[in-house]
Structure 1
Amino acid sequence: MVNTKRVEPVQGGGLPLAALNHISVVCRSLESSVHFYRNVLGFIPIRRPGSFDFDGAWLFNYGIGIHLLQAEDPESMPPKKTQIDPKDNHISFQCESMEAVQRRLKELGVRYVQRRVEEGGIFVDQLFFHDPDGFMVEVCTCDNLPIVPLVPVEGSAILGLPPPAPACKRPAAATLRPAPPLPVPVAVPAPVSAAAAVPPAQCVPAKAGSYVGEVKAAGIVGTPAF
């Protein structure tokens, strides 16, 4: 079924997509292509809808699917490309060890072209090679490069990146607050000596068993009353 209705633009940008699901490749020999994507790239064959009335195979790994379609007339397909051109259409896979990938390709006898990209002191290694039908595959360390959106706000939101920090601006003169007044100095009284703090002498009525006399700073002076 072909959708011929006018499509209204989606508010806020493009289509509400979620993720890449699969790529589809038409091949001359289904058997050769399954062998390549399974044994070279590590994809796993998965169940394919039985209602299809044409030959093909589905494979899955790394979060995406590869859908292979057997060409109805392999002889009518364009000639297979023999020259590896890194600027040609291709699918790219991130790898953890470029040395391990190179070693495995040599063991399998797969011819490849090697490139290196340098950007601001960051290096990205790339390997390019063909599948059995000449469709190019890349293996790289592209994750070394940071993702820098050209549209900072919208791009950051789409890519799930934190928004850029706002630029610091000096507040306008009208918004400046006056400086608080300096504290008024408070006079502090001079410290009082211990002698001056003693209350003046006073008379104490005589009581039985107590001393009678004057209470002075140096002690109690008097005679005991019995």
Structure 2
Amino acid sequence: MVGIGLKRVHHIAIICSDYEKSKHFYVDCLGLSPVREVYRKERNSYKLDLAVGDHYQIELFSFPDPPARPSFPEAAGLRHLAFEVDDVEASKKRLEEMGIQVEDVRIDPYTEKKFTFFQDPDGLPVELYES
């Protein structure tokens, strides 16, 4: 066995500042499917598990007054969250129809695939990458 036997990404955890706003964004705007939603009274926190296709899961957490995390494109740490789509142009148009500001579509110089970026309600950079 090489390495420690990692098989795939299990989940991606996101802490949001406004649970209802972020839940609407990830479920209603992006179309992710709720798997399980729980309220953890002892932490005054919601946890919403969201399915991304058949493989990955996003855990959306709420906490009272989470501290802001500075985000700069080239800072150390998580750079962005990327989703694969069949048609970047169509997805961009749909997001814009919902009032979400989306950057111009660009072409990856190495793969020649289309991609674009937008932000979630807390400013987390989200990428759409054409399959």
Matched position secondary structure for 1:47: strand
Is 2:71 the counterpart of 1:71?
A: no
Cα drift, residue 39 of structure 1: 1.4
Q: Is the 8 A contact 1:86 1:128 kept in 2?
A: no
Is 2:130 the counterpart of 1:136?
A: no
- Alignment correspondent of 2:18: 29
Matched position secondary structure for 1:133: coil
Cα drift, residue 61 of structure 1: 2.4
Query: What is the alpha-carbon distance in structure 2 between the residues aligned to residue 71 and residue 117 of structure 1?
Result: 37
Query: For residues 86 and 136 of structure 1, do their structure 2 counterparts lie closer, same or farther at Cα, with a shift above 3 Å needed?
Result: farther
With a CA cutoff of 8 Å and minimum separation of 6, indicate the structure with the bigger relative contact order: 2
Bigger CA radius of gyration: 1
Q: Which structure 2 residues correspond to residues 1-226 of structure 1 after superposition, within 5 A?
A: 12-48=1-37, 53-54=42-43, 55-56=45-46, 57-62=48-53, 63-74=55-66, 76-78=67-69, 85=73, 89-114=79-104, 115-119=106-110, 122-141=111-130, 143=131
Query: What is the alpha-carbon distance in structure 2 between the residues aligned to residue 48 and residue 18 of structure 1?
Result: 26
Once the two structures are superposed, residues 157-208 of structure 1 have per-residue CA deviations (whole angstroms, 9 ceiling, x without a partner) of: xxxxxxxxxxxxxxxxxxxxxxxxxxxxxxxxxxxxxxxxxxxxxxxxxxxx
Matched position secondary structure for 1:20: coil
Query: What is the alpha-carbon distance in structure 2 between the residues aligned to residue 58 and residue 40 of structure 1?
Result: 16
Query: For residues 51 and 72 of structure 1, do their structure 2 counterparts lie closer, same or farther at Cα, with a shift above 3 Å needed?
Result: closer
Query: What is the alpha-carbon distance in structure 2 between the residues aligned to residue 86 and residue 78 of structure 1?
Result: 14
TM-score (norm 1): 0.49
Once the two structures are superposed, residues 84-143 of structure 1 have per-residue CA deviations (whole angstroms, 9 ceiling, x without a partner) of: x48871111111112211210110111122322223xx51111111101111110012x4
Query: For residues 94 and 51 of structure 1, do their structure 2 counterparts lie closer, same or farther at Cα, with a shift above 3 Å needed?
Result: same
Q: Is the 8 A contact 1:116 1:126 kept in 2?
A: yes
Cα drift, residue 52 of structure 1: 7.2
C-alpha RMSD of matched pairs (Å): 2.5
Name stretches of at least 5 consecutive residues in structure 1 with no aligned partner: 1-11, 144-226
Amino acid in the other structure paired with 2:89? E
Name stretches of at least 5 consecutive residues in structure 2 with no aligned partner: none
Cα drift, residue 50 of structure 1: 6.9
Query: What is the alpha-carbon distance in structure 1 between the residues aligned to residue 38 and residue 18 of structure 2?
Result: 20
Query: What is the alpha-carbon distance in structure 1 between the residues aligned to residue 69 and residue 52 of structure 2?
Result: 28
Amino acid in the other structure paired with 1:133? D
Query: What is the alpha-carbon distance in structure 1 between the residues aligned to residue 68 and residue 34 of structure 2?
Result: 25
